[in-house]
Structure 1
């Protein structure tokens, strides 16, 4: 394996569909890479709002699903039957083995922080992961309000941070299409 191999492997996440949405018979199934991008952006924003380290929170969120390049996406029902942290650690070690030492240690360290969930940035990144899914539910299940509400409530129950709860309420009261008329109506600058 080489650094280029690592990048190609990470690219597999662009072709790995998130599996949990199949349970909802959701047509708009995003890739793991789609999910990870917005999760990192949410984590960075949340950390800034909470006075935490935005770069660290974004890095944790960006890396949180990297093992899925090898394991595939595992929704919560699948994870119930697996000893998830052990394979996650092993996959990260294997994926980063050929990287230059500084990069290898950075990624392994951030992955360990994600798993430990013992810093404000890790908790924020985890909440960002959930909030990204809440946004996807709001965007994709508008035509099925009862199922949207059930998924929203299920996901919302796992939000742990104050900033996460604040954003959850904002998401609850803001429609997925509300942003663009406001952007168009607002004068530039």
Structure 2
């Protein structure tokens, strides 16, 4: 077993997020919701945009977003209502277990990022937390556009959770946008 075996194990475990579904959407009647990894990917893009606009570090914010749901490999995606009935282990404890065999620089990077996200005190963590909620709102708008009428409470709760003015303003733009408007714009001729 080499020093990198723990890092390899962590990467393999994190890959589970590509197959694990965001379970709250089942309550809205979505048969095949996006995966946790798909959510984290767009949360990272959203966080990068928010951080850029807020004057925070876009790369750090994107990293926090990519890592924020990695503990869900061990506890799953517990829908909001489930938190009323379950006491899940805190993410920092789970990440300590997940990274126990990783080389110290890798474990430290991941543990520090999760602790920063959970504390929510830095500008990057605030942008990442807003990105997490804003991505949920964006997904709800897309589902609504596809004809799912039961996503209103996800939109409302996501809006209510946003902390930065930029995130609230961006949310309003998303709510008023056509999710496929980008496809209807013709490419500009080159030359």
With structure 1 as the length reference, what TM-score do the two structures score?
0.92
Measured on the aligned residues, the alpha-carbon RMSD in Å equals 1.7
For residue 46 of structure 2, what is the aligned residue in structure 1? 42
- Runs of 4+ with deviation above 4 angstroms: none
C-alpha contact (below 8 Å) 1:28/1:140 kept by paired residues: no
Q: Partner of 1:60: helix, strand, or coil?
A: helix
Inter-partner Cα distance in structure 1 for 2:20 and 2:46:
21
Question: Compared with structure 1, are the counterparts of its residues 186 and 138 closer, same or farther at alpha carbon in structure 2 (3 Å cutoff)?
Answer: farther
For residue 99 of structure 2, what is the aligned residue in structure 1? 96
For residue 68 of structure 1, what is the aligned residue in structure 2? 72
Inter-partner Cα distance in structure 1 for 2:180 and 2:35:
21
1:57-86 deviations in Å (ceiling 9; x for gaps): 1111111100001111111111233444x4
Inter-partner Cα distance in structure 1 for 2:76 and 2:190:
43
1:90-126 deviations in Å (ceiling 9; x for gaps): 1100111111111111110010001101111111101
Unaligned runs of 5+ in 2: none
C-alpha contact (below 8 Å) 1:61/1:129 kept by paired residues: yes
Matched positions, count: 186
For residue 112 of structure 1, what is the aligned residue in structure 2? 115
Is 1:165 matched with 2:168?
A: yes
Inter-partner Cα distance in structure 1 for 2:84 and 2:123:
25
Q: Partner of 1:30: helix, strand, or coil?
A: coil
1:25-72 deviations in Å (ceiling 9; x for gaps): 113400000000000111011101111111111111111100001111
With structure 2 as the length reference, what TM-score do the two structures score?
0.91
Unaligned runs of 5+ in 1: none
For residues 138-149 of structure 1, the aligned pairs below 5 Å read 138-142=141-145, 143-145=147-149, 147-149=150-152
Of 26, 49, 60, which residue of structure 2 is paired with 1:22? 26
